[in-house]
């Protein structure tokens, strides 16, 4: 596995033959799928499909454990928001009353539906970040003619994030070298102490921004006129050819989205009323 700023990518993967645009297109379009799917089982099926794609792409599935805390905390927040802070609805079916708060079946159901909509989006994002390096994202944007100035701003943001992370690590090591040890201390103590990281970090960032600007000027870069005059050779794009496979995959992704819309709104599939999981839960809880 190779580390990137945004995650880990495999050394070798069959998905690397695919043009970065197709990966970005997959991420953008497939993340929209759950917006039109209400039944949790279909969103679960989408998660399984993405897991199969991850396995096929030789992504180390163990990386998913990094996202478990996010999934758990997100699920908890959604559940609390819908149930405890869901408001008073006399028209809903009350499941249980906890400390005077009514927990309604409809709100629990909605929380589950929303959670199962968000999960595939996270999986799609993880899949994308686990198969794309930063350069792929830039190439994908440039290949659809996004202005160089905008893609470069995005690249600089990524680059700056990397620099800040490296600087933070240096500052932290410097503090530890002077005997700072937060192990076993309270969160309040750690937070208070973390503030002292900020001073050197700001100082380095200010100096870096000056050096960075000088480096850009020395390489003949200027934002002036770039937006008005987008003509500029893009050497990196010459490494990426859009092949027949890429056209086919793009068409399949777009077509599957259209099919989804037809099935959802034309034929009434993927709705809550036909959901097996929701039906089974309803029987279980009520």
Partner 1 sequence: MPPIIAISDYSWKYPHTERPALNNINLTVEEGVFLGIIGPNGSGKTTLAYSFNGLIPGQYHGIKHGEVRVLGKEVEEYGGGDLPKIVGVVFSDPEAQFTAMTVEDELVFGMENLGMDIPEIRERLEWVVNLTGLEPLLLKPPYEISGGQKQRVALAAVLAMTPRVMVLDEPTSMLDPISRRRVFDVLARLKREQSNTIIVIEHSLENLVPLADRMVLLYNGELLLEGETQPFFQQMDMLLEREVFPPGAMHFFHNLVKHGYYSGELPLTLEAAADYLEHLFNRRHHTEAEAS
Question: For residues 171 and 78, what is the distance between their CA atoms, to the nearest angstrom?
Answer: 37
Rounded-to-10 torsion of CA 260, 264, 268, 269: 50
Two tokens, residue 114: 């929303």
In whole angstroms, how close is the CB of 29 to partner 1 at the nearest point? 24
259 sits near partner 1 (criterion: CB under 8 A) = no
Residue 145 is a binding residue for partner 1 (CB under 8 A)? no
Nearer CB in complex with partner 1: 28/156: 156
Chain positions 24 to 43 lying near partner 1, rule: CB under 8 A, are none
User: Quick one: 103 or 137, whose CB is closer to partner 1?
Assistant: 137
Between 96 and 236, name the residue whose CB sits nearer to partner 1: 236
Q: Which stretch binds partner 1 (CB under 8 A): 82-90, 187-195, 213-221, 270-278?
A: 213-221
Place of tokens 């029987």: 283
Residue 155 touches partner 1, criterion: CB under 8 A: yes
Q: Does 151 help bind partner 1 (rule: CB under 8 A)? A: no
User: Considering the rule CB under 8 A, would residue 166 count as an interface residue with partner 1?
Assistant: yes
CB atoms inside a 10 Å sphere around CB 271: 14
Say whether residue 219 binds partner 1 (CB under 8 A): yes
Contact status: 4 vs partner 1 (CB under 8 A):
yes
List binders of partner 1 among 75-134 (CB under 8 A): 133-134
Footprint on this chain of partner 1 (rule: CB under 8 A): 2-5, 133-135, 138, 155-156, 158-159, 162-163, 166, 207-208, 211-222, 224, 232-236, 238
């Amino acid at each position: 596995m190779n580390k990137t700023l945004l995650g880990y990518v495999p050394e070798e993967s069959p998905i690397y033959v695919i043009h970065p645009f197709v990966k970005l297109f997959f991420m953008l379009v497939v993340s929209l799928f759950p917006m039109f799917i209400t039944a949790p089982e279909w969103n679960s099926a989408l998660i399984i499909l993405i897991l199969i794609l991850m396995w096929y792409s030789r992504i180390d599935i163990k990386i998913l454990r990094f996202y478990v805390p996010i999934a758990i905390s997100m699920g908890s927040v959604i559940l609390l928001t819908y149930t405890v802070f869901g408001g008073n609805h006399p028209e809903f079916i009350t499941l249980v009353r906890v400390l005077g708060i009514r927990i309604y079946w409809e709100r629990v159901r909605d929380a589950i539906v929303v959670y199962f909509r968000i999960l595939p989006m996270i999986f799609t994002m993880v899949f994308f970040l686990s198969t794309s390096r930063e350069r792929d994202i830039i190439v994908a944007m440039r290949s659809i003619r996004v202005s160089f100035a905008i893609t470069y701003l995005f690249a600089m943001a990524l680059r700056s994030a990397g620099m800040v992370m490296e600087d933070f690590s240096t500052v932290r090591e410097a503090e530890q070298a002077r005997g700072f040890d937060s192990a076993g201390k309270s969160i309040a103590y750690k937070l208070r102490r973390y503030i002292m990281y900020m001073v050197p970090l700001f100082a380095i960032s200010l100096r870096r921004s000056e050096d960075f600007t000088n480096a850009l000027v020395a390489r003949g870069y200027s934002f002036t006129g770039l937006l008005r005059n987008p003509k500029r050779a893009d050497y990196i794009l010459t490494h990426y050819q859009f092949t027949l496979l890429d056209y086919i995959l793009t068409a399949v992704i777009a077509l599957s989205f259209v099919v989804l819309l037809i099935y959802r709104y034309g034929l009434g599939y993927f709705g809550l009323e036909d959901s097996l999981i929701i039906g089974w839960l309803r029987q279980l809880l009520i």
